[in-house]
Structure 1
Amino acid sequence: MTTTDSTAINGVTEEWSEVIEPRTRLLDLRLSELWRYRDLVAMLVRRDFVTNYKQTILGPLWFFIQPLITTITFVIIFGKIAGIETGGPPHLVFYLSGITIWNYFSETLNRTASVFRDNASIFGKVYFPRLTMPLSIVISNIVRFGIQFSLFLAVWGYYLLKGNTIHPNAYALLTPVLLVLMGLLALGLGMIFSAMTTKYRDLVFLLSFGVQLLMYATPIIYPLSKLEGKSYMWAILANPMTPIVETFRFAFLGVGMFQWSYLGYSAVASLGILAIGTIIFNKVEKSFADTV
């Protein structure tokens, strides 16, 4: 796409600010084009908050209520009834740390996976970089993560001042890196599923169910150290979200199996999945209007 162009028809020169041309490279995020449409991305982020909470009674308070209720449920079921040990930290802050991380990943993945279906009417009427839609989802969920992260910090600060059951360290500075890795992983997986759901819409329901099951294959309700020596531990470690959750817990709670090699694997897997998702997304967006 070029910014200016002109042609002559019947002796009259006409100019356009932009010319839409076919995409020639599948592995192309077109970052410069996305930057020119940054105002649209900001508008879409704002739309998410307005449309989701404009007619609710509690509004943005649901950002706090949902993880808090989920955490209390986990404490009762897995902590008290099932008796799953956390390895030291109190159950409340242990489960809240995992839920805070998982909510960002699952919400971004689920919403990105249905971006073609949910916005088909817009895509068919006006041109804009299609990647602005999933990108706006990633950014809007960062804001949501920030709100829920503040809830976690409040609970974490309470236990930190109360005693010495948690032991934070300097690895907490890796939190922005973990957030980027989750965003890239969810964006890549979401683009793959969004391309598939243009033809097979029931995959959206399968994905929602699959994400719920994936949570149990991620150390959200149990510490990874409890699986040492188990024959299936390799499958848990193969999940790119596992090192992210373990690093987050190790940084803020002082428990977890943190290794740079694990985090490096998660980074490589996230970038690889993003590359595959970009190729599939760019290929499908050319003809998705005919199938969605």
Structure 2
Amino acid sequence: MTTEQIKFNPEADIAGNSEWTTVIQPKRGWLDIDLKEIWRYRDLLMLLVKRDFVAFYKQTILGPVWFFIQPLLTTLMFLVVFGRIARLSTDGVPPILFYLAGVTCWSYISECLTKTSDTFITNANIFGKVYFPRVVIPAAVVISNLVRFSIQLCLFLSVWVYYLTRTGSTIHPNRMILLVPFLVLIMALLSLGLGIIFSSLTTKYRDLRFLLTFGIQLLMYATPVVYPLSLTSEKYRWLILANPFSALVETFRYAFTGSGTFSWYNLGYSALCMLVILATGIIIFNKVERTFMDTV
């Protein structure tokens, strides 16, 4: 796979001394990601972001309203099943706000994982016709879902402000709110890393697509989305914290409500996992993109 487009110098051709202004060379380094090249294709990146965002509600009756309906319906379902029937604790946080915080984070994570995992398979026809940095496709998915996350975050903030301004509110936001952009960045890059790993492997092993869909559902229950971390047994809590998404969701909820668990150690572990998984994903992605057209 190459990193540059070919451009011919017509003046040199007229003079009888043909030269190429840009030479295509294969990627050789394991972590060979040309950020300058991605920046040159920023128009394509934004076009793909717009395509993914618009395609979500195109030819629907309610349109963008679905961005609000989905988290609300999911929150209400969790409220009934886990709040009313199972009667799980929410650490004193109003149940709707508790579940909506988890749903807002998990929706972004799951969407990024699911859509980036199909990068090679769903875009094989484009990859076989024209050159552009292949990593633009999964990056566009992460950014377009970030727009969706921002809309759902506004919904969460509206509910949060409502409970915050009520008399006798048990919500105590703290300065950890300043970490929210950092949390979102880790979520995005961690999901991107895992997504491109599965995307690279599914070009040869298609069964992984089904495994990922099933795995994301199980991973949600291994993440404190519908229950607080304090509810887990001390003996098995390390299993939950071994999931790098756990500290991110728990910190997000703690920042806005003041309830839950916060640890710099756990947050640092999530950041370290993000770096390792993202680097691994880039290595595998660079290796597979050279020959994936032969197996896809």
Tell me the distance in 1 between the aligned counterparts of 2:157 and 2:29.
43
Partner of 2:143: 139
Counterparts of 1:92-131 in structure 2, within 5 Å, are 92-131=96-135
Q: 1:202: how far off?
A: 2.4
Matched, 1:89 2:98: no
Tell me the distance in 2 between the aligned counterparts of 1:2 and 1:254.
50
Alpha-carbon displacement from aligned partner over 1:15-67 (angstroms, at most 9, x marks no partner): 55543210011212211111111111000000112222221111111110000
Partner of 2:281: 277
Query: Relative to 1, partners in 2 of residues 1:199 and 1:2: Cα closer, same or farther, differing over 3 Å?
Result: closer
Partner of 1:217: 222
Tell me the distance in 2 between the aligned counterparts of 1:219 and 1:27.
33
Matched, 1:75 2:70: no
Give the structure-2-normalised TM-score.
Answer: 0.94
Asked if 2 retains the 8 angstrom alpha-carbon contact of 1:6 and 1:13, the reply is no
Partner of 2:184: 179
Partner of 1:43: 47
Q: 1:205: how far off?
A: 1.6
Tell me the distance in 1 between the aligned counterparts of 2:18 and 2:291.
29
Tell me the distance in 2 between the aligned counterparts of 1:69 and 1:287.
43
Mark the runs of 5 or more structure 2 residues left unpaired by the alignment: none
Query: Relative to 1, partners in 2 of residues 1:289 and 1:241: Cα closer, same or farther, differing over 3 Å?
Result: same
Q: 1:154: how far off?
A: 0.6
Partner of 2:241: 237
Partner of 1:250: 254
Alpha-carbon displacement from aligned partner over 1:197-246 (angstroms, at most 9, x marks no partner): 101222112101100100000000100011142x2211101000011011
Letter matched to residue 186 of structure 1: S
Query: Relative to 1, partners in 2 of residues 1:5 and 1:26: Cα closer, same or farther, differing over 3 Å?
Result: farther
Mark the runs of 5 or more structure 1 residues left unpaired by the alignment: none
Asked if 1 retains the 8 angstrom alpha-carbon contact of 2:13 and 2:19, the reply is no
User: What is the root-mean-square deviation in Å for CA atoms of aligned residues?
Assistant: 1.7
Q: Secondary structure in 1 aligned to 2:32? A: coil
Partner of 2:59: 55
Q: 1:261: how far off?
A: 0.8
Alpha-carbon displacement from aligned partner over 1:244-292 (angstroms, at most 9, x marks no partner): 0111011001111101111011000001000000000000000001100
Tell me the distance in 2 between the aligned counterparts of 1:128 and 1:83.
52
Q: What is the percentage of aligned positions where both structures have the same residue? A: 58
Task: Report the count of equivalent residues.
Answer: 291
Query: Relative to 1, partners in 2 of residues 1:19 and 1:59: Cα closer, same or farther, differing over 3 Å?
Result: farther
Query: Relative to 1, partners in 2 of residues 1:14 and 1:141: Cα closer, same or farther, differing over 3 Å?
Result: farther
Matched, 1:191 2:203: no
Q: 1:13: how far off?
A: 4.2
Tell me the distance in 2 between the aligned counterparts of 1:242 and 1:152.
19
Partner of 1:290: 294
Q: 1:11: how far off?
A: 6.7
- Which of 166, 171, 181 is the matching residue for 2:171? 166
Q: Secondary structure in 2 aligned to 1:212? A: helix
Q: Secondary structure in 2 aligned to 1:162? A: coil
Tell me the distance in 2 between the aligned counterparts of 1:18 and 1:109.
35
Deviates more, 1:248-257 or 1:48-57: 48-57
Q: 1:132: how far off?
A: 0.3
Q: Secondary structure in 2 aligned to 1:220? A: coil
Query: Relative to 1, partners in 2 of residues 1:290 and 1:2: Cα closer, same or farther, differing over 3 Å?
Result: closer
Query: Relative to 1, partners in 2 of residues 1:125 and 1:94: Cα closer, same or farther, differing over 3 Å?
Result: same
